[in-house]
Structure 1
Amino acid sequence: MCPSAITLTVTREEHHFMVDTHNNSYPLYSCWEAWPDLGMRRIYTTVLFTHIYVAPLALIVVMYARIALKLFNNGRRCLAEDARGRYISPFHDIPIYADGTENVFNMVVEVPRWTNAKMEIATKDPLNPIKQDVKKGKLRYVANVFPHKGYIWNYGAIPQTWEDPGHKDENTGCCGDNDPIDVCEIGSKVCSRGEVIKVKVLGTLALIDEGETDWKIIAINTEDPEAGSYNDISDVRRLKPGYLEATVDWFRRYKVPDGKPENQFAFNGEFKGKDFALSVIKSTHEHWKALIAKKTDGGEINCTNLTVSDSPFCCSQECAKATVDAAPPCKAANAIPPEVDKWFYYQQN
């Protein structure tokens, strides 16, 4: 805008005047750009138009083209990127803590509330994309065990945690389930798959899933309008009566439609409070640190990451891009089977 300001010229019109409603006259001034060369004006106008309109429009087109390409190529596989568009692992590269006090955690949303597709961080795949679980060649959906519809919370995981299958938990007597620690977020907003939110931990439930320890952290989105009212598991019981009981019922019975027995719990299905939950999370974080540093055997877990500089599995962005480019594109997403919306009824034990 500087060239325009420099050439700005104001002159008084000698034979023209302004007249108001009371017939008073005033001098008239005109303002214009006195360019010494009209060619310079055309160049300036072209440059100004390019910067103000063309460049932002091109950027928007590129952004949406990238999103469309990503969705087209990946189908039911959701790759993670940081704010600068660089590939990352949602398992290893997103920090566990969302603030410096170590009381607020990041949560990666895998399954939005009320949906049925069993999506999860693929721990054995390079860069650990979020993808739908497959069993016997079919995409997995959780059944609607009456009166529940799909997942009854926003369901996901805390990054940089790992329930070590080689470590027997002193509280449950069972080893870990080989996954990041799970989170049930109880806020009012239905989140999006792949969204990373900040959560306040309130308590935990110790599920024993086919003989493995599978902690379920109860938390609330810090941006929820009612988050300030929740500080421990007792607040959930007081402010959302029946929600914790429904949570136990959901986890107890969700595998029954697949012909499996009801799940069991440590502590007789009782929830543990915030302090206990925090100690469990920090323990799984220590197990993850040993995993990413190759101080423990992770088996088939893929530890490729881009931000943990002291990890032997740390790779470059070029390597990550090559990994993504080499992956076969997913086929078009299948339609959701109609039976996914059916209720499943059975007599409880």
Structure 2
Amino acid sequence: MAGREGSGHSSFPHVALNERILSSMSRKSIAAHPWHDLEIGPGAPAVFNCVVEISKGSKVKYELDKASGLIKVDRVLYSSVVYPHNYGFIPRTICEDSDPMDVLVLMQEPVLPGSFLRARAIGLMPMIDQGEKDDKIIAVA
């Protein structure tokens, strides 16, 4: 390790721990927004990145908070119904309902909300939600 000759110290300046903590607290960190900042990925439209909002088997419906980029709880399903597969959206897309394109990802395991993964499109499920077109991409991962 480089240092001052004979001193046994590194060549990096010594900064007290509390100064480093205060310095890091004064810097504003900005998290990437999953809708706008995540690339759709190479291979799109056949293979694409998608962000999971709802895990397979979940009774909790989450959705993207567009302003913050965080995944928020929308509601809890109080019946015996659960989400059959991971459900989310494709980044950098926008549909007629002003939301990103929805995707239902068929796979064996549940994925945590907020995670992103690569998926391959295998179909489209045309839907109408409250009078608006709200199609879903069906994909596998």
Q: Give the paired residue count.
A: 126
Residues 99-108 or 211-220, more deviating: 99-108
Q: Higher relative CO (CA 8 A, sep ≥ 6), structure 1 or 2?
A: 2
1:99 alignment counterpart? 42
2:55 alignment counterpart? 112
1:185 aligns with 2:128: no
Q: Give the superposition deviation at 1:144.
A: 3.7
Matches of 1:101 and 1:219, distance apart in 2: 12
Q: How high is the TM-score relative to the length of structure 2?
A: 0.74
Matches of 1:100 and 1:217, distance apart in 2: 16
Matches of 1:210 and 1:118, distance apart in 2: 18
Matches of 2:43 and 2:86, distance apart in 1: 25
- Structure with higher Rg: it is 1
1:154 aligns with 2:86: yes
> Structure 2: any 5+ residue segments left out of the alignment?
none
Q: Mapping of 1:178-217 within 5 angstroms?
A: 178-217=98-137
Matches of 1:211 and 1:103, distance apart in 2: 28
1:131 alignment counterpart? 72
Taking only aligned residues, the RMSD between alpha carbons, in angstroms, comes to: 2.8
Q: Runs of 4 or more off by more than 4 Å in structure 1?
A: none
Q: Which structure has more strand as a fraction of its residues?
A: 2
What's the % identity of the aligned pairs? Answer: 33
3-state SS of paired residue (1:118): strand
Q: How high is the TM-score relative to the length of structure 1?
A: 0.32
Q: Which structure has more helix as a fraction of its residues?
A: 1
Q: For each residue in 1:145-190, what CA deviation from the matched residue of structure 2 results, as whole angstroms up to 9, or x when unmatched?
A: 4xx4x211111111111122xxxxxxxxxxxx33211111111121
3-state SS of paired residue (2:34): coil
2:34 alignment counterpart? 90
Matches of 2:84 and 2:39, distance apart in 1: 26
Q: Mapping of 1:295-334 within 5 angstroms?
A: none
**CA pair 195-163 structure 1, distance change in 2 beyond 3 A:** same
Q: Give the superposition deviation at 1:198.
A: 0.8
